[in-house]
Structure 1
Amino acid sequence: METYRLQPHPGHPPRAVSGVDARIIGRDDNWLRLRWRIEGSGELVVPKFAGKGRADGLWQTTCFELFLRPDGGTAYCEFNLSPSERWNAYDFAAHREGMAERPIPREPVCTMRMGSSFAIFDAALPAAALPDTDCAMGLTCVIEEAGGHKSFWALEHRGEQPDFHDPACFTARLAAPSGA
């Protein structure tokens, strides 16, 4: 599957992180599996283990996100995934409008692995939680480094401030499941 090179927002550059790649590593009838690879992770702040469960505000530290907007509309969904194993999912009617908690039939699986100069975050989302049609896709992350320094990574940025909800960030594609 295709690997996407994420770009840091120019107004919030990283310190030590030199690159972030994201990709879908697998999809079947039960799960969509994603991976983010962070290069230059020596100063990466990893949230402490908190156990599975919904939580708000995950983006305030290192967090990985998936946005899906079904073709032909303005509604989209957002999945927030943390190395702490906390997660959340939201539906939006349009750009930052009409936010509601998205029902998830089973909890996502989140796993963080640290290497000497890189980190890998893997997530598995239940397939039943995803739209069953072709979607525009945004892969993003917030990276916190030592001292509270944050950088904001997306496929593309517009505007002076980071906004992962901007439709310009949804430049990748996720095809409908093969059986849909």
Structure 2
Amino acid sequence: MQTHVLVAHPAFPPVQVRGMEARVIGHDANWLRLRWRIEGSAGLVVPAFAGKGRADELWKTTCFEAFLQPEGGSAYVELNLSPSERWAAYDFTAPREGMSERAMPREPDCTMRQGSSFAIFDAAIPAAGLPNAVCNLGLTAVIEEDGGVKSYWALAHGAEHPDFHDPACFKAQLAAPPGA
């Protein structure tokens, strides 16, 4: 699977984080598996373990996000995935419009591993809770470092301020799962 380099929004540079990559590591009829790798993670603020469950406002600290927009439409799905194991899923009818909670058949699985100079965040999202189509894909992250410094990472940024809902961020493509 292809590795995508994420870039920090220039208005919010990181302090110690030197780079980030995201990739789809698996996609079948059961799961969409995503991985983010953070280089320079010594000062990374990782939310405390909270156990599985839905939660809002995960983006206020270190959080990983995916946006899936079926090709040819304006509606999309937003997934927020936290190292705390909390998660959220929303439907939007258009950029930042018509937000509603998205039903999921089961909870995503999330794990965070930290090395001496890098961290890896893995997420497995139930495919039955996602669009069953070819999608434009946005892979993003909010990274908090010591001292409350936050940086906003995406495949691309299309605005003066960070906005992961901007279609300019949906630069990757995700094939429909096998058998779709």
TM range (shorter): over 0.9
* Consecutive aligned runs of 4 or more in structure 1 exceeding 3 Å deviation: none
% identical equivalent positions: 71
Instruction: Write the letter of the residue equivalent to 1:172.
Output: A
Q: Secondary structure at the match of 1:107?
A: coil
* Alpha-carbon separation, structure 2, partners of 1:10 and 1:27: 32
Residue 178 of structure 1 and its aligned partner are, at CA, apart by 1.9
Q: Secondary structure at the match of 2:36?
A: strand
Residue 102 of structure 1 and its aligned partner are, at CA, apart by 0.3
* Alpha-carbon separation, structure 2, partners of 1:33 and 1:62: 19
* Alpha-carbon separation, structure 2, partners of 1:78 and 1:126: 14
**Which residue in the other structure is 2:48 paired with?**
48
The residue correspondences of 1:108-127 to structure 2 (distance < 5 A) are 108-127=108-127
| Cα deviations by residue, 1:49-100 (Å, 9 ceiling, x for unpaired) | 0000000000000000000000111000000000000000000000000000
RMSD of aligned Cα (Å): 0.5
Residue 109 of structure 1 and its aligned partner are, at CA, apart by 0.2
Q: Secondary structure at the match of 1:36?
A: strand
Flag structure 2 segments of 5+ consecutive residues without an equivalent. none
**Which residue in the other structure is 1:73 paired with?**
73
Query: Contact (CA 8 Å) 2:29, 2:178: kept in 1 or not?
Result: no
* Alpha-carbon separation, structure 1, partners of 2:59 and 2:51: 17
**Which residue in the other structure is 2:140 paired with?**
140
Instruction: Write the letter of the residue equivalent to 1:137.
Output: L
* Alpha-carbon separation, structure 1, partners of 2:37 and 2:171: 19
Residue 160 of structure 1 and its aligned partner are, at CA, apart by 1.1
Aligned length: 180
The residue correspondences of 1:126-165 to structure 2 (distance < 5 A) are 126-165=126-165
* Alpha-carbon separation, structure 1, partners of 2:104 and 2:131: 12
* Alpha-carbon separation, structure 2, partners of 1:133 and 1:159: 28
Instruction: Write the letter of the residue equivalent to 2:170.
Output: F
Question: Could you tell me the TM-score, scaled by structure 1's length?
Answer: 0.99
**Which residue in the other structure is 2:172 paired with?**
172
Flag structure 1 segments of 5+ consecutive residues without an equivalent. none
The residue correspondences of 1:5-24 to structure 2 (distance < 5 A) are 5-24=5-24
**Which residue in the other structure is 1:33 paired with?**
33
* Alpha-carbon separation, structure 1, partners of 2:158 and 2:25: 27
* Alpha-carbon separation, structure 2, partners of 1:66 and 1:73: 17
